[in-house]
Structure 1
Amino acid sequence: MTAYSLLDLVPIVQGGNAAQALANAADLAAHVEGLGFTRYWVAEHHGMDGIASAATAVVIAHVGQATSTIRVGAGGIMLPNHAPLQVAEQFGTLDALFPGRVDLGLGRAPGSDQRVSAAIRRGLGSDGNEFPRDVAELQSYFADDGRTGIRATPGAGAKVDIWILGSSLFGAQLAAMLGLPYAFASHFAPGLLDEAIDAYRRNFRPSAALEKPHLMLGFNVFAADTDAEAEYLASSQQQAFVAIRTTGKGIQLPPPVQGYRETLGGHGNAMLDQVLSASAIGGPDRVRAQLAAFVARTGADELMLTSAMFDHQARRKSLSLAAEAMRGLQVDLSGV
């Protein structure tokens, strides 16, 4: 059975603001909880005008208060930006507030450009090359095993599920070596997807945390009543991808544009085809078929769906249709 979850970048739309984006996040988390989603994650990004989840642990607390059963967490915390002790304290606090519901996905990217990254890491003296050591230190705080000589309060003994995130083979190999669940960012960086899946499954070592591999894959869903409407709604995210790939800067999520892809040249369309290759765009039948094909190809244990749309109500509906498609997919698979 393939579980389904939500990654919410807490988008700030053009003409909107962070307060509105955060209110939408709480509403969306409660909405997908009712749809049977397993977990709701937000991601750490900095210096981006269109993303309101920079203070990731604070946002998780916000959506945790708006929900009661769905797992809440980070997908992820960019660990080189932080002292592991502080992360243990933050997520130990979240576990105290929402016991048994907290996930901590860890990445080694900066979540920003180099200038912003330097501002965040001032005085830390850390970088992505120390990531495995930082993960081990963080695990030690939660385990309260005394190896660091420091007791995290809150944090010691917290039942926080740690995940390794990645878009390359490094994360896959580390997750396998540590016996941890692994989430691959195929929703925006699908290039090494097949290689990462193979590396993770082939090298996985059972651990106290996990007996067998658990693979979660990012997947974009833009669903609507018709294929044409879905294509139109998806153009907001397509514009945002084009902007960041051509200028290096994120933008506030723009309104959809009718026939947007027809305005792009061959290079722009080829780029979008590559970036959005792990996506379903269409009405209910097309979305269900595209989800089924992706699960059949990858054997994913879980999909981390993302659905960035300018209109909040359209986004709610997209996720409702995605949940319906996933439930239908479970029925299809159970009959095989």
Structure 2
Amino acid sequence: MEKLSYKDSGVDIAEGNALVEDLKDLVQSTFDANVLGGIGSFSGAYKIPNGYKEPVILAATDGVGTKLRLAIDWGILENVGIDLVAMCVNDLICNFATPLFFLDYYATGKLNKTKALEVIKGITKGCLEAECALIGGESAEMPGMYQKEDFDLAGFAVGIAEKERVERENSIKAGDILVALPSSGIHSNGYSLVRKIIAEHHINLESNFNGKTLIEELLTPTKIYVKTFKAIEHKIKALAHITGGGLIENIPRILPYDVDAIIEEQKIQTLPIFEWLTKYVADSDKYQTFNMGVGMVLVCDCKEANALTKICNGYILGEIKQGNKRVKFA
């Protein structure tokens, strides 16, 4: 009877070990003074920063969604790691948490070290932009679960905030102002619909789109808003990350029950990619599927609005009025 090795089953331990060695310098480039130890242990260690009276730890997890399918099919992998970090840290700051550290999970049918390193380079780039440390991760080779070199990503971000800030009473009231922070593009939501549009209309993704190919435009990485948040966190009442569900579903998550968010539709600075997409999308879906050019929505006192837009490079989108926790367009 012939005896089998782990490699015979499709799992190459040597390739995995080589990946770990090659990514050490990348990972360590994200470390700050609070990271304890290096990489290679069973878990990452991070010291609670000084200066907090009652520190509260917050956590968020997410993936890249079916945007990853396009990236894999076209071999354009350098930005999906940025998307992964962005989707997690952008959620954290909505709870007024400063991101501290990040972990990733990379699962594939057949580990390709070169491709995995390209993805992890993007993750480290995202962590540096988000000013958080990449203190650990896992790569799993799982033949039978994933086809060939297909892979999926998951990310986990941990942040910190003052307890009183997390538990603060919602102070949003009628007369407050909605401020939009522009997105960099589609970000990482709605790609199942994007891919259906591409398939049904036989769209050439190598065609020119504003000086680049359409596939390059579609794979523009999600914008990370952490530095902006740090500059304005004491000037705002709330912020909403505009992800799946668009403006319609995400803004109500920050509203008290007695107000509505009134958006002046003509003020939305819609990006060219959305002008292209909405030719194929029902009007009823566009604000509930895509961000339409708005990556974040902030709420602030009317007295702060003009100064705030200059600090964060945003613009006034609308205002808060009496209502019942809904988004309306004017």
Larger RCO: 1 or 2 (CA < 8 Å, sep 6+)? 2
Q: TM-score, normalised by structure 2?
A: 0.25
Higher normalized helix content (fraction of residues): 1
Q: TM-score, normalised by structure 1?
A: 0.24
Higher alpha-carbon Rg: 2
